[in-house]
Amino acid sequence: MAARCVRLARGSLPAFALSLRSSPRLLCTAAKQKNNGQNLEEDAGQNEQKTDLPSTEKTLMEEKVKLEEQLKETMEKYKRALADTENLRQRSQKLVEEAKLYGIQGFCKDLLEVADILEKATQCVPQEEIRDDNPHLKSLYEGLVMTEVQIQKVFTKHGLLRLNPLGAKFDPYEHEALFHTPVEGKEPGTVALVNKVGYKLHGRTLRPALVGVVKEA
């Protein structure tokens, strides 16, 4: 039975082909069906591509947003690092400058004691004793005065200034009050007496002046 069907099919194929050659309508119909099949396959492929395209674009957009956020975060970290570095550089530079200015602070404090002794020595010499008939005392006194003047010049050269605030307004940043007393004719809050002069090094109080301050009666 199967063999007979095969023979019939083989016999029918040449007849069908002959009928296609003899009938243009059948030929056109077959061509249209073939083209329709191809078009359906192409449409299916395009639909698949269109379906994949939005998904790809979405993935790319997500990657773009993620990279932009990473770039923004990296730039912020970079800017913060630059700011921290600049602040550190400025602080280091300030410390170096202060070290140059105030590195001699301890040495200056020691020299102030020498200046105080010279000042007391010249103040203790009675002016009436400084006479030509007493040349030894006169020469000694003049030598002390010259030494005192010279040491003050050296202090000024290195930014160390003397503070003698007699009659000035009391300043707690530059003066240290030893006592308060009413003084007639003096404005309250002013310096009436300077017990020991003070000094400032490059604008910074190195030693406050020891003073007596006028108070209201």
Q: Characterize the bridge pairing of strands 198-201 and 191-196.
A: unpaired
53 part of a folded domain: no
74/65 Cα distance (integer angstroms):
14
Q: 188, 183, 189, 186: which is closest to 171 by C-alpha?
A: 189
Task: Judge whether 152 lies within some domain.
Answer: no
Closest by CA position to 201, among listed 97, 95, 101, 100: 101
In this structure, is residue 195 part of a structural domain? yes
- Identify whether the C-beta of residue 116 lies closer than 8 Å to the C-beta of residue 148: no
Provide the number of structural domains found in the chain: 1
At residue 174, the 3 state secondary structure works out as coil
Q: At what angle do helices 2-22 and 24-102 cross, to 10 degrees?
A: 90
Residue 170 located in a structural domain:
yes
Least confident of 122-131, 142-151, 185-194: 122-131
Q: Look at residue 171 and tell me whether its pLDDT is greater than 90.
A: yes
* Segments forming the whole domain that contains residue 191: 159-216
19 within domain boundaries: no
pLDDT of amino acid 36: 56
What is the rounded average pLDDT of the residues 152-168? 92
pLDDT (0 to 100) of residue 58: 82
pLDDT over 70 for what percent of the chain? 76
Two tokens, residue 18: 């002959």
| Per-residue pLDDT, 39 | 56
Q: Is residue 31 part of a domain?
A: no
- Residue 140 inside a domain? The answer is no
Q: Are 181 and 217 in contact (CB under 8 A)?
A: no
- What CATH number corresponds to the domain at position 206? 2.30.22.10
> In sequence order, which residues have a C-beta less than 8 Å from that of residue 145 and are 6 or more positions away?
122
For residue 169, the Cα-to-chain-centroid distance in whole angstroms is 39
* 14 pLDDT more than 60: no
* Token reading at 113: 């004691």
Which string of DSSP letters, residue by residue, matches 122-163? HHHS-GGG--TT-HHHHHHHHHHHHHHHHHHHHHHHTTEEEE
Answer whether residue 118 shows pLDDT above 60.
Answer: yes
Q: For the chain, what is the radius of gyration of the CA atoms?
A: 54
Residue 106 domain flag: no
